Amino acid sequence: MADSADSLTLVPAGRNMPRHVAIVMDGNGRWAKRRGLPRVIGHQAGVKALERTIDYARDLGIRYLSVYAFSTENWKRAHSEVQGLMGLFRYYLKGKIGQMHRRGARVRFAGQMSAFPDDILSIVESAEEMTRENTAIDVIFCVNYGGRQEILDAIAGLIRSGHEGPVTEDVLRRHLYAPDIPDPDLLIRTGGELRISNFWLWESAYSEYYFSDVYWPDFGREELARALDSYAGRERRYGSA
């Protein structure tokens, strides 16, 4: 577990804290390249950063943490990199879910899960089932996630449902991947790129953005605290004057 006493001193209680923090975990490949290592080693280091971040977020009282781990576009990468990522996904799910469960995390997934092999699907289902009642933090793994695909899937689901009457935001939202989770308040992207890359397109309509030059494997408590600090000073107006 993260050193909770230290984490709390970095972000004093009573601050304006986001309920839902979403993270585009970018920069693993460049982190590895800078060290002359294969990209997959960067992804391994990224898994460690993720484990730390889940602990910090939980200790700080962030109720929902969603992480972009694999996009619908990431299949375009070299077969070896995709295979490496699938291997890590398996290892992470098998090895870490029990630990997350003991720490009170509810584990969820958002994305087109049908693309994954059966063994991964069965671990995903048992992880969701095992952790369903946990309330310390919800961790949403966005895998084979694409914002445009999510909206298309929601429209298809809406049509299948035979809905009659006006199609309002609330009606469409019911068909998104995680309709009960509040929209991201704070959306962090590491790795220095200033783009959204198809993440939470519907849900991020009014999210606050924080872009960090830190490569994801180097992300830690200090950078999370900086993002939360930046968020705490913002005024959210949602279009009002």
Give the residue numbers marked as catalytic.
26, 74
Distances (CA, A) of 157 to 116, 171, 204: 20, 11, 21
The residue among 7 and 72 lying less far from ligand IPE, judged by its C-beta, is 72
Neighbours of 23 (CB within 10 A): 28
26 in contact with Mg ion (CB under 5 A): yes
Of these, 29, 84, 111, 147, which contacts ligand IPE (CB under 6 A)?
Answer: 29
Residue 234 to residues 205, 210, 229, 239, Cα–Cα distance (Å): 16, 11, 9, 14
Evaluated on CA atoms 193, 39, 215, 222, the torsion sign reads: positive
Q: Which is nearer to Mg ion, 71 or 131 (CB)?
A: 71
Choose the binding region for ligand IPE from 14-22, 65-73, 108-116, 205-213 (rule: CB under 6 A): 65-73
Of 225, 205, 203, give the one whose Cα is nearest residue 214: 225
C-alpha span between 222 and 213 (Å, rounded): 13
Q: How many residues does the chain have?
A: 241
**3 near ligand IPE, rule: CB under 6 A:** no
184 binds, among Mg ion, ligand IPE, none (CB under 5 to 8 A by kind): none
Under the criterion CB under 5 A, does residue 55 sit at the interface with Mg ion? no
The secondary structure of 170-218 as a DSSP string is: HHHHTTSSSTTSPPPSEEEE-SS----TTSSTTTTTTPEEEE--S-GGG
Token pair 């494997």: residue: 217
CA 103 and chain centroid, separation:
18
Decide if 190 contacts 215 (C-beta within 8 A).
Answer: yes
**Binding site partner of 116, from ligand IPE, Mg ion, none, Cβ cut-off 5-8 A by kind:** none
| Residue 71 contacts Mg ion per CB under 5 A | no
Q: Which is nearer to Mg ion, 26 or 59 (CB)?
A: 26
Give which of ligand IPE, Mg ion, none residue 132 binds (C-beta under 5 to 8 Å, depending on kind).
Answer: none
Position 134 contacts ligand IPE (CB under 6 A)? no
Q: If binding is defined by CB under 5 A, does position 68 make contact with Mg ion? A: no
Site map for ligand IPE, 179-208, x if CB under 6 A?
------------x-x-x-x-----------
Residue 210 amino acid letter: Y
Q: Which stretch binds ligand IPE (CB under 6 A): 22-30, 100-108, 157-165, 176-184?
A: 22-30
Name which of residues 152 to 181 contact ligand IPE (CB under 6 A).
Answer: none
Q: Which residues bind ligand IPE (CB under 6 A)?
A: 24-30, 68-71, 73-74, 85, 191, 193, 195, 197
Q: Which residues bind Mg ion (CB under 5 A)?
A: 26
